[in-house]
Amino acid sequence: MGSMKDRQEGFEKKFAVDEELKFRVMARRNKLFGLWAAEKLGKTGVDADVYAKEVVLADFEEAGDNDVFRKVRADFDAAGIAQSDHQIRSIMDELLATAVDQIKSA
Tens digit of pLDDT for each residue in 71-101? Answer: 999 999 999 999 999 999 999 999 999 999 9
Q: Are 95 and 82 in contact (CB under 8 A)?
A: no
pTM for the full predicted model: 0.85
* Residue 14 within any structural domain of the chain: no
Phi-psi region of 83 (alpha: psi -120 to 50; beta: other; left: phi over 0): beta
Residue 98 lies in a domain: yes
Residue 20 scores a pLDDT above 90? no
Tell me, what amino acid is at 14? K
pLDDT over 70 at 1, yes or no = no
Would 18 be classed as within a structural domain?
Answer: no
82 domain-assigned:
yes
Per-residue pLDDT at 8: 78
User: Residue 47's domain is classified under what CATH number?
Assistant: 1.10.790.20
Domain presence at residue 19: no
pLDDT at residue 5 above 60? Answer: yes
Range of the domain at 97: 26-105
Instruction: Look at residue 3 and tell me if it is in a domain.
Output: no
d(CA 26, CA 97): 10
Residue 95 domain flag: yes
Number of domains in the chain: 1
Considering the domain boundaries, does residue 38 fall inside one? yes
